[in-house]
Amino acid sequence: MLKQLEEIRNAGLSRIKDAPDSDALQEVRQELLGKKGQLTQILKSLGSLDPETRPAVGKTANEIKNFFAEKMKEREEQLLSSESVLDAPIDLTLPGIMPQQGALHPITQMCYDLNDAFLSMGFEVFSEDDITSEKYAFDNLNFAADHPARETMDTYWLEGTENKSGAERLCLRPHLTGASVRYLLKHGAPARFVYPGRVYRNETTDARHERAFYQYEALVVDKDLSFSSGKVMIEAILSKVFGRKINVRMREGFFPFTEPGYEIDMECLVCGGKGCRVCHNSGWIEVMPGGVIHPNVLRAAGLDPEEWSGFYANIGLDRLVMMRYGVDDVRYFHSADLRFLEQFK
């Protein structure tokens, strides 16, 4: 009998070890320890055994039962640790299931990047309406009465007002600078604010020219300001936006609403300032006209130029976005073409 038990033990152990998965193991469990199992049968029939051998057989049978239980637990753990959730292998290169897709326009993205940078420096964001008047677009800004930009071939005047003048001659704003006077009239000085927005020029479009494009202008008005602070500001902003130090330079420029006026160039991001086709081999890209506010503009805003000073920086947003992504045709921005917009998720 003991010999038989020994056989049961050995056979059972190999059944347990050979069980390929949890289900098989469960079957083995039934077989070995279930009511119909040999071991149970033996234990059940203990009464009919010779009283002398009974204790030894009973003990051994129980030991084997415990042994099986232990081994099955081991095997179960072993099986679990190597078991996969899936029955069958899967192709891991299949595409993922996308979350709902959508995106801000790349120009809006750039605008928000700039907003974040300027807000962190205590600037407010101001928006002016798209339609303005000659008074705010030109007169206030020290544009000469016969400045060419006032012509219909440059500016979109509104029907019925095109032959009037000043506050009565209305147009889609040709630049953002007019908003500076509106803000200063409303809030006074000192002030530091940005005013992003779309501007309009009556011109023929091509890969580099649009009738509607975005500018981003910043203005600081304070006492005893030196114009050179403008360069620090631009450096700080560009570094924030592009995530690394961007070299800029400031040079002579002329705009009616500034004196002195300057152009701020930034190093060409395409070639890193070494010179390439994009920057006409100069290593610099002209991105920002700026300058000290012309005293006549301060007067238009009700401020005394002897007391107050300040400076502008005007960023061509379209151009900056084109630089950021290498977009080579400005007309994509207003195309509403999803094949283009999808790239800026």
Partner 1 sequence: MYVSLNWVKKYVDLPKDLGLDQLIYDLTMRTVEVEGYENPAEKYHDIVVGKIIEVKPHPNADKLRICITDIGEEELVQIVCGGCNLYDGEHVVVCRPGAEVIWHGEGEPVVIKEGKLRGESSYGMICNASEVYLEDIFPPESDEYIVDLNGQGTPGQNIADLVGMDDIVIEIDNKSLTNRPDLWGHYGIAREIAAIYKLDLKPLADTAVHTEGLPEFPIEIDVPEKCMRYAALEIHGVDAKKESPLWMKTALIKAGLRSINAIVDITNYVMLDVGQPTHAFDRTHVTDKIIVRNAKEGEKLELLDHNQLDLTTYDLVICDAEEPMALAGIRGGRKDSILPETSSVLLEVADFSAPTIRKTGKRFDEKTDASIRYEKGLDTERVDQGLAEAMRLFKEIFPDAEFTAFGDVYPIKTERAEVKITKEFMDVRLGKEFSVEDVKDTLGRLGFDVDFDGTTYTCLAPTWRSTGDISIKDDILDEMARLHSFESFETKPLPVNFDHAVNQPKENVDRRVREYLAFRCGFYEILTYPWVDDHFMQAAGITPDTTVRLATPPSPEQANLRTSLVPGMLQTAVSNLRYYDSFRVFESAEVFQPGVYHESTEDETLPLQKHFVTGMLVGSDPKLLFFQAKGVIENLARTCQVEPLSWKQVERPAWADDNVYLNIMAGKDLIGTLGLVRVSTLAAAGIKHAQLAIFEFDEDMLTPYKSRDNEFVHLPVFPLVEKDLSIIVDEAITWQEIEQAIDKHTREVKFVEEYRGEQIPEDKKSIMLTVKIGSDKGTMKAKQIDKQMNKIVKTLENRVGAQLREA
> Which 297-326 residues touch partner 1, going by CB under 8 A?
309
Q: Is 156 in the site for partner 1 (CB under 8 A)?
A: yes
Instruction: Please enumerate in sequence order all residues whose Cβ is within 8 A of that of 84, keeping only pairs 6 or more positions apart, or say none.
Output: none
Buried b (16+ CB within 10 A) or exposed e, 124-139: eebebeeebbbbbbbb
Q: Which amino acid is at 286?
A: E
Binds partner 1 by CB under 8 A, chosen from 232, 272, 304, 325: 232
Name the segment binding partner 1 (CB under 8 A); options: 35-43, 75-83, 123-131, 269-277. 123-131
Structural contact between residues 229 and 213, judged by C-beta atoms closer than 8 angstroms: no
Q: How many CB atoms lie within 10 A of CB 147?
A: 13
E strand or H helix at 56:
helix 54-82
Name the segment binding partner 1 (CB under 8 A); options: 5-13, 33-41, 54-62, 223-231. 223-231
Nearer CB in complex with partner 1: 79/250: 250
Name the segment binding partner 1 (CB under 8 A); options: 44-52, 55-63, 245-253, 266-274. 245-253
We find the least distance from the C-beta atom of residue 247 to partner 1, in angstroms, to be: 11
**Interstrand relation of 124-125 and 191-200 (parallel, antiparallel or unpaired):** parallel
Nearer CB in complex with partner 1: 68/262: 262
Residue 246 token pair: 């961007």
φ, ψ (nearest 5 deg) of residue 25: -60, -40
Site string for partner 1, 66-85 (x = CB under 8 A): --------------------
Binds partner 1 by CB under 8 A, chosen from 71, 182, 240, 331: 182
Name the segment binding partner 1 (CB under 8 A); options: 62-70, 89-97, 156-164, 238-246. 156-164
Closest C-alpha among 156, 219, 224, 212 to residue 191: 219
Beta bridge partners of 171: 132, 157
Binds partner 1 by CB under 8 A, chosen from 30, 125, 188, 274: 125
Rounded to 5 degrees, what angle do the CA atoms 13, 14, 16 make? Answer: 65
Binds partner 1 by CB under 8 A, chosen from 15, 175, 263, 266: 263
Name the segment binding partner 1 (CB under 8 A); options: 7-15, 16-24, 238-246, 328-336. 328-336
We find the least distance from the C-beta atom of residue 56 to partner 1, in angstroms, to be: 56
Name the segment binding partner 1 (CB under 8 A); options: 27-35, 42-50, 74-82, 330-338. 330-338
Closest C-alpha among 78, 62, 89, 70 to residue 22: 78
Q: Which of residues 162-181 bind partner 1 (CB under 8 A)?
A: 162, 166-168, 170, 172, 181
Q: Is 261 in the site for partner 1 (CB under 8 A)?
A: yes
Q: Is 161 in the site for partner 1 (CB under 8 A)?
A: yes
Nearer CB in complex with partner 1: 97/153: 153
Site string for partner 1, 265-304 (x = CB under 8 A): ---------------x-----------x-xx---------
- Determine the length of the chain: 345
Residue 169 token pair: 């001659």
For 294, counting Cβ atoms within 10 Å of its Cβ (0-12 exposed, 13-18 middle, 19+ buried), the class is: buried
Residue 273 token pair: 């300032």
